[in-house]
């Protein structure tokens, strides 16, 4: 649980598509929408935005530069996959962006969703090998950001001589976000993460993972923050929100059937997502949690949602705060309209609620 002096952080997701997963049309890259949605997040009171990356997406570093130029205070969470750019070069790029944006850069280390994801770009290391590499990658990044003179490095994956950067981050370093629930993902997350980022789940699932990572981070004296992503289905009342969820599900099912996507084997990662959703579904402690889109698409859409009115959603999100989440990546399905509503009806109330509870805990303690 955070102290009153440590406010929660609200994070959005930069989409280069005006439509979302529920839109009937195929996604079309729209460069004009990137600054538009970035400014919408800033106006709605979001603190930071994730710029995602996968083997087919637009480049995250270039997109992040465009987002930074379009905004004045919005911080960045730049997804970055080690293995394709030398860590010394990545460190200079991130430090340069941090300086140009006034200290707003952050990097989200992505070790990849599955083997095929990295093989698309010619990387054939195993998942465990990639985690070992990611750990060393972050080590070199931090050396580059902090070193006042050239240094040598010789590790299992990287070797450099007289490495140095003339540009350093505004605040001396850049926050490192880390994800991964495998044994190595958790071990290195506890060791390397400033913010450990996790997928959505039930309150119990999230609490278990937070506890596990805290236990591993305690011996070296580390105390990372915790981030969780969650899609919100919001409407004026709980009933209206569940009706909207039903409409979203029908739209997705129709789209999947029209494109012939159902019935295909999507591999172990998708199967694990469906299993995770099934374990989270129908729990009495999480009446607002909805896993319909994940199950209906056989794990193709790995999204969980909270469904309800603004007041209901604030209470639901507060339950996650109680178990350690202080960084909320929350978005809707109608990018502009939902972002505006979340900013108006949910973010201020969630901030006020968690700050009041933190103050009460200090007084009681």
Position 21 confidence tier, pLDDT thresholds 50, 70, 90: confident
Cβ neighbours of 239 (radius 10 Å): 11
Q: Which residue has the higher pLDDT, 34 or 27?
A: 34
CA atoms within 13 A on the CB side of 307: 23
Please give the average per-residue pLDDT across 237-263, as a whole number: 85
How far apart are alpha carbons 39 and 49 in whole angstroms?
11
Give the range among 63-77, 106-120, 184-198 with minimum mean pLDDT.
106-120
List of residues 6+ apart from 142 with CB closer than 8 A: 173, 176
Which neighbouring-strand residues pair with 160? 153
Which of 308, 177, 332 lies closest to 235 in space, CA to CA? 308
Instruction: Confirm whether 133 is domain-assigned.
Output: no
Angle at 53 between CA 55 and CA 63, to 5 degrees: 120
Is residue 123 included in any domain, yes or no? Answer: no
Measured CA to CA, the distance from residue 319 to residue 203 in angstroms comes to 7
pLDDT band at residue 1 under the 50/70/90 scheme: very low
What does the pLDDT read at residue 112? 77
Say what the pTM is: 0.92
- Cα separation of 41 and 53, whole Å? 19
Contact 300, 256 (CB under 8 A): yes
pLDDT over 90 (residue 63): yes
Q: DSSP characters for 297-354?
A: TTTSS---EEEE-HHHHHHHHHHHHHTT--EEEEE-SSHHHHHHHIIIIIHHHHHHHH
- 285/54 Cα distance (integer angstroms): 34
Contact by Cβ (8 Å): 300, 277: no
- CA 141 – CA 192 distance, rounded (Å): 11
Query: Is a pLDDT exceeding 90 seen at residue 273?
Result: no
Q: Is 198 helix (H, G, I), strand (E, B) or coil?
A: strand
Average pLDDT over residues 228-234: 96
Query: Would 22 be classed as within a structural domain?
Result: yes
- For residue 240, being part of any structural domain is answered with yes
The CATH number of whichever domain residue 218 belongs to comes to: 3.20.20.30
Kindly write down the DSSP assignment for every residue of 34-69, as one continuous string.
HHHHHHHHHHHT--EEEE---TTSPPHHHHHHHHHH
**Residues whose CB is less than 8 angstroms from the CB of residue 304 and which lie 6 or more positions away in sequence, other chains included:** 199, 200, 201, 230, 231, 277, 280, 289, 290, 291, 294
Q: What is the dihedral of CA 223, 229, 233, 238, to 10 degrees?
A: -30
Q: Give the range of the structural domain holding residue 267, as residue numbers without chain letter.
A: 9-80+175-364
CA distances from 101 to 34, 66, 104, 106, 246 (A): 17, 10, 6, 11, 41
| C-alpha to C-alpha distance for 261 and 259, rounded to whole angstroms | 6
The confidence band for 25, taking pLDDT boundaries of 50, 70 and 90, is: confident
In a domain, 101, yes or no: no
- How far apart are the C-alpha atoms of 79 and 102, rounded to whole Å? 19
What is the rounded average pLDDT of the residues 335-355? 98
The number of folded domains in the chain is 1
pLDDT of residue 261: 58
Question: Is 110 within the bounds of a domain?
Answer: no
Asked, for residue 281, whether it belongs to a domain, the answer is: yes
Q: What is the pLDDT of residue 264?
A: 52
Residues in the chain: 365
Task: Specify the pLDDT at position 142.
Answer: 98
Least confident range from 65-69, 162-166, 231-235, 253-257: namely 253-257
What CA–CA distance (Å, rounded) separates 39 from 327?
A: 20
Domain assignment present for residue 154? The answer is: no
């Amino acid at each position: 649980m955070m102290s009153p002096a440590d406010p929660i952080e609200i994070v959005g997701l930069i989409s280069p598509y005006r439509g979302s997963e529920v839109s009937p049309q195929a996604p079309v890259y729209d460069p004009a929408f990137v600054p538009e949605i970035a400014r919408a997040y800033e106006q709605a009171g979001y603190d930071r935005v994730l710029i995602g990356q996968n083997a087919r997406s637009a480049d995250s570093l270039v997109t992040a530069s465009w987002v930074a130029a379009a905004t004045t205070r919005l911080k960045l969470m730049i997804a970055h996959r080690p293995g394709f750019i030398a860590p010394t070069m990545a460190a200079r790029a991130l430090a340069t962006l941090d300086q140009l944006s006034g200290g707003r850069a952050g990097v989200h280390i992505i070790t990849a969703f599955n083997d095929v994801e990295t093989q698309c770009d010619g990387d054939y290391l195993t998942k465990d090998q990639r985690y070992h590499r990611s750990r060393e990658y972050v080590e070199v990044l931090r050396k580059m950001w902090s070193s006042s003179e050239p240094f040598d490095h010789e590790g299992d994956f990287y070797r450099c001589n007289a490495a140095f950067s003339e540009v350093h981050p505004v605040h001396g370093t850049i926050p490192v976000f880390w994800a991964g629930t495998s044994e190595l993902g958790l071990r290195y997350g506890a060791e390397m993460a400033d913010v450990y980022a996790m997928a959505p789940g039930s309150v119990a699932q999230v609490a278990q993972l937070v506890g596990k990572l805290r236990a591993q981070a305690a011996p070296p004296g580390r105390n990372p923050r915790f981030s969780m992503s969650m899609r919100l289905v919001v409407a004026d009342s709980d009933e209206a929100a569940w009706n909207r969820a039903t409409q979203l599900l029908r739209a997705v099912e129709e789209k999947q059937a029209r494109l012939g996507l159902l019935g295909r084997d999507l591999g172990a990662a998708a199967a694990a997502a469906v299993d995770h959703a099934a374990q989270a579904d129908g729990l009495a402690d999480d009446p607002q949690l909805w896993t319909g889109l994940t199950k209906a698409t056989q794990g193709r859409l790995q999204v969980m949602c909270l469904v309800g009115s603004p007041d209901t959603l604030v209470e639901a999100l507060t339950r996650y705060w109680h178990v350690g989440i202080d960084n909320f990546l929350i978005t809707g399905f109608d990018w502009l309209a939902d972002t505006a509503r979340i900013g108006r009806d949910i973010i201020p109330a969630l901030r006020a609620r968690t700050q009041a509870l933190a103050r009460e805990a200090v007084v009681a303690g």
